[in-house]
Each structure stands twice: as structure tokens, then as C-alpha cells.
């Protein structure tokens, strides 16, 4: 093996669930290592730029209702990492702060990850349990060992890792994981030549549209210096158009936008989200098997919202701390 690393806890997945789990465990004195197959932290808390425009193309904002999550949100707000985008969704009566990151949503997980040990572009391909520890073998001939293993990956990836494992999860957990499916999603990113006609706060949620679910103006939002629309399609549209060339996806969405608002598109990109929305997530916020020293967390258990995933990671950490 070209690389071997040992830790108290190994977390697979550096999305917000994995980052919050590692943060809480580190606060409790644990030596924690994270790995993620992606090139950046944060999972769907993603930001992209092209042609001078900046786009939040995954999670658009988050809300806070749990005190355990509020504790960290207060710290991030005090540090200037996040701020309130708006409090009332256009066309709705609900009044609740929607938080965003002025430097793009991905700046928040990057901030959270700063004190943590994270290896990116590292894909776990096999997990094995010995009497004392977990061994995780990855692509590029690397190996990680830890007393406790946390998986925050989408449920199909978690199930796949356990299919070749020498240990099995409790049957009811394994069955519940197998039932969690995910909707597909498409993000169409449009740099405009002129400002969009969206009114403040710069977003629109469409309830009944067959193709478009969400539109946001990243310039009005405050993260882009140039007019830049993020358009999220419906799951049905994403599934139908999944294998189509990007130019076809972009052209169809542009056509669907025309009756909604006059815009002038200068350049565009499309991004596919394979695990956008967990369908039928498990009822547990997190699950720990003490006999195996393994914990499951993430949106398969916490649900699709940023707060749900974050709280899933925090709950996972508390379960691990309770084992000590």
C-alpha cells in the first residue's frame, strides 16, 4: 500500500453530515480522518464559476430549527461566513431566516473543513472489519484504519460497500437502506447579458411547472458580480433528459423560461445531480451499531435539507461519544 493512515474515527464522505460529525468528535478529543471521492468539500453545497459569473448550483440556502445546529450557525454568522438571504419566500407566508454564504455556498463547508484532516479525490472501494478496527481500501492503492467507521455516503454507495464486506449490518437497517432511493436533478446555469427581471430577494419556486422547480439570480443574491441564473429542473424532467447532450438540456430549459421571464443568455452550463433528493429516508437521524463500531449518517437518514444532514452528523457524533 502506498499510503496508510490510522485514526480513532474514519468518516467516509465530506459533505455537511461528515464535516459536522468530524467537528463534534474533534471537539470531544477524537482523532478523526475524513475521505471523499470528490474534489471539494460539501457535497451539494456547491459553487461554480465561469465567464466571470458565480453560481450556487446545489443547495441554495438553509434554515435552522434545531438548537444543536444553531450553536454552529451562530459561530459561522459571527465569523462572517454566512448571512441571512431572506426570511419570507416570495408567494408564501412562512417567516423564517434563509441562510446563505456571501462567498458562495461552498465557502461554508470549506470553512468547516479548515481544522479537519480531509483527503479529497479518495474513493473507498472495500471495507473490512477485524477484531480491533476497520480497514478501508481505496483507489490509488491507499489504506485507512480506524477503531470506528462512519459512512455518510448516499444509501446505494453504502449498500454497495457492505455487499463485499466481511460483516453485515443488522437486517432491518440494511433493508431500510435499500429502500432509500434518490431523485435525479439538473442544474442549468445561465450567464445573462442583462440583469434578470426577478424581484428581490432574487428567487422563484414553482410548484406546478412540469420542467422548472426553482430559479435564483445569483447577482441579486449577492454572490455573483454578473447576472447569473441557477435553474433547478423537476425530477421528472431530469430523469427524462438525463442522457441528452447538455446543449439539448440548456435549450429546452431556455424555451421553458421564455414565458416566465424575458432574459438574454450569454453562456450556459449544465450539471447533473445523481443524488438530489432522498425518497423514503430512514426514520433514524443516525444509526450506530456498537458491536461493529460502525455508524451511518447523512441524507439517507437525516433527509434532503442541509440542516437535516448536519444534524444527522451531529447525532452520529453523539452516539459515538456515548460508546466511550
36 and 81 in a single domain? The answer is yes
172 and 196 in a single domain? The answer is no
Tell me the average pLDDT of the chain.
Answer: 96
Q: What CATH number did the domain enclosing 171 receive?
A: 3.50.50.60
Cα–chain-centroid distance for residue 278? 11
Give the three-state DSSP class for 239.
Answer: helix
How much is the pLDDT for 324?
Answer: 80
Euclidean distance between CA atoms 101 and 85, whole angstroms: 9
Beta strand pairing call for 32-35 and 3-12: parallel
Q: Could you tell me if residue 54 is inside a domain?
A: no
On the question of pLDDT at 2 being above 60, the answer is yes
Q: What confidence tier does 89 reach under pLDDT thresholds 50, 70, 90? A: confident
For residue range 56-82, list pLDDT tens digits in order.
999 999 999 999 999 999 999 999 999
Domains held by the chain: number: 2
Average pLDDT over residues 262-278: 96
159 and 303 in a single domain? The answer is yes
103 and 247 in a single domain? The answer is no
Count of alpha carbons within 13 angstroms of residue 60, beta-carbon side: 23
Q: Could you tell me if residue 174 is inside a domain?
A: yes
Euclidean distance between CA atoms 225 and 66, whole angstroms: 33
Instruction: Write out the residue range of the structural domain in which residue 211 sits.
Output: 182-278
22 and 96 in a single domain? The answer is yes
For residue range 239-250, list pLDDT tens digits in order.
999 999 999 999
173 and 253 in a single domain? The answer is no
Which secondary-structure segment (H or E) carries 306? helix 306-323
Euclidean distance between CA atoms 306 and 58, whole angstroms: 11
On the question of pLDDT at 88 being above 90, the answer is no
Give the three-state DSSP class for 51.
Answer: coil
Amino acid at each position: 500500500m502506498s499510503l496508510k493512515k490510522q485514526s480513532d474515527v474514519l468518516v467516509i464522505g465530506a459533505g455537511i453530515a461528515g464535516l459536522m460529525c468530524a467537528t463534534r468528535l474533534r471537539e470531544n478529543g477524537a482523532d478523526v480522518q475524513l475521505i471523499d471521492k470528490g474534489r471539494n468539500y460539501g457535497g451539494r453545497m456547491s459553487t461554480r464559476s465561469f465567464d466571470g459569473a458565480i453560481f450556487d448550483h446545489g443547495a441554495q440556502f438553509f434554515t435552522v430549527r434545531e438548537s444543536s445546529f444553531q450553536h454552529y450557525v451562530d459561530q459561522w454568522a459571527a465569523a462572517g461566513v454566512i448571512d441571512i438571504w431572506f426570511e419570507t419566500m416570495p408567494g408564501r407566508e412562512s417567516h423564517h431566516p434563509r441562510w446563505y454564504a456571501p462567498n458562495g455556498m461552498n465557502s461554508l463547508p470549506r470553512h468547516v473543513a479548515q481544522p479537519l484532516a480531509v483527503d479529497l479525490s479518495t474513493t473507498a472501494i472495500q471495507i473490512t472489519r477485524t477484531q480491533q478496527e476497520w480497514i478501508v481500501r481505496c483507489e490509488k492503492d491507499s489504506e485507512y484504519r480506524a477503531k470506528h467507521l462512519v459512512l455518510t455516503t448516499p444509501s446505494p454507495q453504502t449498500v454497495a460497500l457492505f455487499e463485499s464486506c466481511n460483516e453485515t449490518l443488522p437486517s432491518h437497517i440494511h433493508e431500510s437502506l435499500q429502500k432509500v432511493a434518490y431523485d435525479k436533478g439538473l442544474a442549468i446555469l445561465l450567464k445573462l447579458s442583462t440583469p434578470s427581471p426577478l424581484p428581490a430577494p432574487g428567487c422563484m419556486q414553482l410548484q406546478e411547472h412540469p420542467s422548472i422547480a426553482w430559479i435564483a439570480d445569483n447577482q441579486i443574491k449577492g454572490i455573483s458580480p454578473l447576472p447569473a441564473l441557477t435553474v433547478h429542473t423537476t425530477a421528472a424532467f431530469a430523469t427524462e433528459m438525463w442522457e441528452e447532450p447538455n446543449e439539448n438540456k440548456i435549450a429546452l430549459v431556455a424555451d421553458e423560461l421564455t414565458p416566465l421571464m424575458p432574459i438574454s443568455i450569454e453562456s450556459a452550463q449544465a450539471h447533473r445531480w445523481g443524488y438530489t433528493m432522498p425518497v423514503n429516508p430512514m426514520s433514524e437521524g443516525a444509526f450506530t451499531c456498537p458491536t461493529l463500531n460502525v455508524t451511518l449518517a447523512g441524507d439517507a437518514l437525516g433527509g434532503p435539507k442541509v440542516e437535516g444532514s448536519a444534524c444527522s452528523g451531529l447525532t452520529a457524533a453523539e452516539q459515538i461519544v456515548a460508546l466511550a
